[in-house]
Amino acid sequence: MIVSTNFSATNALRHLNTASSNLDHVFKRLSSGIRINSASDDAAGLQISNRLTSEINGNNTAIRNANDAISVIGVADGALDESVGLMQRMRTLALQSGSGANTAEDRIALNKEFHQLRLEMDRIASETTFAGQGLLAGTYKGLFSIGAYAGQNTVITDLNAQTKNLGEMGWLARSPAGSLPGAYSIAGLQLATQPITLNGVTFDKNYSTMEEFVTDINATQFPNNQGPVEAQQQAFSVKSSVDLSALPSYIDIAGTTVDLTDIDMTGWSATNPTTKNSTVMSTVISRINTAASSAGLNFSVSGTITNFPSNNWLTISSTAGKSLTLGNGSNEPTHPPPPAPPVSFSSSLTSLLKDVNTTTYVGQLELYSSGDQYSNIDMEGSSLAALGFYPQDKQMFTVDNIDVLSHSNAERAIKTLDAGMKQLGVQHSGLGAQANALDSRVRNLGNASENLSAARSRIRDADMARESAYLARTQLLQQASSAILSQANSRPKMALSLLQS
């Protein structure tokens, strides 16, 4: 029997301390309901649990943000719906004003209501707010975080119901300084070294004809916010003089020979016209038209000769509406109908012309824009002047500058209102699609949050049944260890009994 070292007591004490420590952990788990109360319990599990907690909290916050976005959309949607209703009424008034039965006084009365409705549209655009932020004035850009992580955003923007932005814009090119009316140099179309940017799209190719440039513009996909652009080539004119003294004996038109040998040129004078000039011109025109008609061609010729050389002109017109005016160089109306394909005619006719610069491409380019959100034509580049574009020539055809005081104004108003309603319709439908997407987002976030919470619970939360069983076992071990330790501590007393005996 060893007295100095009680190995039994030491062993019992160690087991008692282990049981007490385990019992402390069980008490923590049962009292907190959490399995991982510190990193020492499960370091990897704690790290995963923390990441899941961040994602769950992020999803729950994203749900609130998405609901805020849906609320903003609801306010804007209602205001846009009212604006469209006002524009429908304005369109009805414009159609009513277009009736020939209306007097000037009637149209003034119609225009008063028309004007008030327009003011109400601007009031709605400026006073529609959400939490103090204007929604329909074109300045709102609401960025909403709708995910648990950075970059998971949705944006509500490009809402503009102001009448000054609804409709379309037009931009008609003018002749560059020092050039012939309605003309510009082909060099203006060499854009490889002097590119232009039109509504955010860069054009940097060399074009040999205006038709190529117009086709390229119309085939371009412009950013919606910048506004798509439609290009048209104006009917064109060439300034020259008409000299019938250079008239050939025969002109070939599509295989049909026009005999001009018997025309009496006696009395003709290119510098001092007389009445003889008019007779000669009429004869030439008549014979050319007869030949063109018999050949089934789609053009005709007209013209006049006066006592003023600068006013002499000859026009070749296609049945589709495009014309080439030779003589006085007068420009076409500001807004002619879209041009037809070029007129084809015999090169022999060029002998009638003098002073024509063959290096000059004659024509005018007109741009129209009616964007999905707003109307805009913005062009930058060093070659703008060569193309005949100047900022002051932009024309606004928007709801804020229309009236119904005349039949023509009413027609313009109808077209402008149609363009404006299309723009509001695009905004309206965009909001609807965004609201539906946000509804789906909210449902998905809720589902994800539920499943992530379950996953975190399986990692972090304590199993109460298991911990209760472990508690009973640990308590029993503690009691047993305590009892054994007591008995082990009493064993040295046996040595005293030996000494006493």
Q: Which of 354, 353, 352, 348 is nearest to 257 (CA)?
A: 348
Is the pLDDT confidence value at 170 over 60?
A: yes
CATH superfamily placement of domain 47-163+403-451: f41 fragment of flagellin, N-terminal domain (1.20.1330.10)
pLDDT for position 257: 67
Q: What is the pLDDT of residue 460?
A: 87
Nearest to 147 by CA among 433, 449, 454, 432: 449
Distance from C-alpha of 164 to C-alpha of 161, rounded to nearest angstrom:
9
**CB burial of residue 221 (10 Å; 0-12, 13-18, 19+):** exposed
The H-assigned helical ranges of 33-151 are 43-97, 104-127
Q: If you average pLDDT over residues 284-311, what whole number do you get?
A: 64
In whole angstroms, give the CA distance from residue 193 to residue 419. 36
What pLDDT, on the 0 to 100 scale, is given for residue 12? 86
pLDDT of residue 253: 59
pLDDT of residue 501: 60
Three-state SS at 133: strand
pLDDT above 70 (res 330) = no
Segments making up each domain of the chain, as ranges: 47-163+403-451, 175-234+366-389, 237-362
pLDDT at 363 over 70: no
CA Rg value for the chain: 45
pLDDT of 245: 56
For residue 187, the model assigns a pLDDT of: 54
Given a cut of 60, whether residue 98 has pLDDT beyond it is: yes
Q: Report CA-CA distances (Å) from 355 to 16, 313, 358, 360, 460.
A: 120, 13, 9, 12, 94
202 torsion bin: left (phi>0), alpha (psi -120 to 50), beta (else): beta
Residue 484's alpha-carbon distances to 142, 164, 271, 491, in angstroms, are 73, 95, 141, 11
Residue of 28 and 124 predicted with greater confidence: 124
> Tens digits of per-residue pLDDT, 416-445?
999 899 889 989 999 999 999 999 999 999
Q: Which of 74-83, 123-132, 230-239 is the least confident region?
A: 230-239
Q: What is the pLDDT of residue 324?
A: 44
User: Between helices 104-127 and 43-97, what is the axis angle to 10°?
Assistant: 170
Q: What is the pLDDT of residue 311?
A: 52
CB 165 within 8 A of CB 138: yes
What pLDDT score does 216 carry? Answer: 85
Range of weakest confidence among 136-140, 151-155, 357-361? 357-361
More confident residue, 213 or 328: 213
- The tens digit of pLDDT for each residue in 2-30 reads 666 777 888 888 888 888 888 888 888 88
Q: What is the mean pLDDT of the chain?
A: 76
CB < 8 Å & 24+ apart, contacts of 53-58 = 53/456, 54/148, 55/148, 55/452, 56/449, 56/452, 56/453, 56/456, 57/148, 58/147, 58/148, 58/149
Query: Which residue has tokens 């064109």?
Result: 236
- Write down the pLDDT at residue 154: 94
Using CA atoms, how far apart are residues 331 and 42, in angstroms rounded to an integer?
87
Where is average pLDDT lowest: 312-316, 384-388, 410-414, 446-450?
312-316
Where is mean pLDDT largest: 156-170, 324-338, 358-372? Answer: 156-170
Q: Could you count the other beta carbons within 10 Å of the beta carbon of residue 255?
A: 8
Highest mean pLDDT among 35-44, 177-186, 412-421: 412-421
294 — pLDDT class (breaks 50, 70, 90): confident
Q: Which of the four pLDDT bands, split at 50, 70 and 90, describes residue 329?
A: very low
With DSSP H G I counted as helix, E B as strand and the rest as coil, what are the percentages for the chain, rounded to 5? 50, 20, 30
Helix (H, G, I), strand (E, B) or coil at 142: strand
Rounded to an integer, the average pLDDT of 187-212 is 76
Of 39-48, 81-90, 249-258, 380-389, minimum mean pLDDT range: 249-258
What average pLDDT does range 276-291 have in this prediction? 70
pLDDT greater at residue 240 or residue 73 = 73
What six digits make up the tokens of 186? 């082909």
CB contact at 8 A, 36 and 460: yes
Going by C-alpha positions, the residue among 141, 145, 162 that lies closest to residue 153 is 145
What CA–CA distances, in Å, run from 298 to 260, 289, 321, 341, 343? 22, 10, 10, 11, 8
pLDDT single digits (tens) 447-473: 999 999 999 999 988 888 888 888 888
Q: How confident is the model at residue 293 (pLDDT cuts 50, 70, 90)?
A: confident
Q: By mean pLDDT, which of 94-98, 196-200, 252-256 is the weakest?
A: 252-256
Residue 328 has pLDDT above 80, yes or no: no
Whole-number pLDDT of residue 373: 52
- Structure confidence at residue 312 as a pLDDT band (50, 70, 90): low
Q: What is the pTM of this model?
A: 0.59
